Structure 1
């Protein structure tokens, strides 16, 4: 079964310096039908104005992934990490027993756009951690985060995997789904066909009780999506 969450149906919060679209309930946006999917709790599509950002605040027991779409993030946390994340980069912060951090737009002239993703961990009270990497723009599936950090992926504290999908025009592949697993697909750029279902930018699709899903790009421009393989 494939259930689509269209981009225009997402929650919205606009504070002037921040314009955010919420795939799931977050902050003042509450929808009991969209409280997350499996261990996936948050996907926020954030646009931050030049020179603005999130002041120092705390988290605990959450795996927090940031994926920069446009601009640059300036990151600082209580574990001593001071980093810059340019467009195309992934960051995984394991909040564990508790961490404080700030995230700012690294430019005084250009906007920042990034996806903020929260995944609930299967280990609580662990030591906080920080990872960051650019995985490139290869065609096909590229593993980004895995439970064991295999092959240079980010090590996530959950039985979950995150993949980057890039499909060139008029190409397709089949994603095999292991028994008992679920998928969530967030469409980042372009259009993607899931069998007979179409996703456009900002759409999401939850996938349950299927053995595989055919992923196709039938358009004339490349498409990019994130695929969450979940328990």
Structure 2
């Protein structure tokens, strides 16, 4: 087993007033040579955007971009004609492929929006850009994994990603144990604690701490107190 610990307090930080963001990996003004990526996982930004503010239209290419609102509403628009609100409990993905331009704004004039912006390196380059979004607000995640992003195009319950990657959410009760089995021995998992406290691989993780593990087949997670977690499985090589 290989292990990497990313503590919440050690993340990169920017504060532009309208935007407060913590970076798990090197991004923008924040650079750490030891935190470029975890396998195909390139960016995990924990963003807070003030009411009515946001990111104006800007381009991307050849990147899988996942947005997960944690509180509030994110208003999305792009040059493919998509204009949608992404609500807390939704998961959105864009395959930037040959090129896409989009904007993301706080959909509220009174409340902050908190969301995760996650980038994954694509499996195939220069594909046709695409957009998808699904709601998981009403699904039971109590002490079980819910797969919200999957490379299986036949899986209608998850949004499709152009990479051999899986995103999973779970809500754990105090004392609960949950196991996860990887899809391939060339993969690793990056566990990000949204809320609460968990124990994994001999480590205790608090709110917004993360751990990367690879050269494993399965892993067990125990909640020291009620917790919400995001587990991302990605190729390491």
Shared fold, TM over 0.5: yes
Task: Determine whether 1:144 maps to 2:145.
Answer: no
Is this contact kept in 1: 2:148–2:158, CA < 8 A? Answer: yes
Partner Cα distance (1:200, 1:47) in 2: 19
Partner Cα distance (1:71, 1:113) in 2: 6
Partner Cα distance (2:125, 2:13) in 1: 30
Aligned length: 229
2:163 equivalent in structure 1: 158
Partner Cα distance (1:79, 1:129) in 2: 8
1:120 equivalent in structure 2: 121
Partner Cα distance (2:224, 2:201) in 1: 11
1:206 equivalent in structure 2: 212
Task: Determine whether 1:14 maps to 2:18.
Answer: no
1:184 equivalent in structure 2: 190
Task: Determine whether 1:129 maps to 2:158.
Answer: no
Partner Cα distance (1:29, 1:225) in 2: 25
1:53 equivalent in structure 2: 54
Q: What are the Cα deviations for residues 172-196 of structure 1, in whole angstroms up to 9, with x where unaligned?
A: 1221234222111111111111142
| Equivalent residue for 1:218, pick from 207, 215, 224 | 224
TM-score by length of 1: 0.96
Which runs of no fewer than 5 residues in structure 1 stay unpaired?
none
TM-score by length of 2: 0.93
Aligned Cα RMSD in Å? 1.2
Partner Cα distance (2:72, 2:178) in 1: 31
SS of corresponding position for 1:8: helix
More deviation, 189-198/80-89: 189-198
Is this contact kept in 1: 2:47–2:117, CA < 8 A? Answer: yes
Partner Cα distance (2:56, 2:185) in 1: 42
More deviation, 143-152/100-109: 143-152
Is this contact kept in 1: 2:141–2:169, CA < 8 A? Answer: no
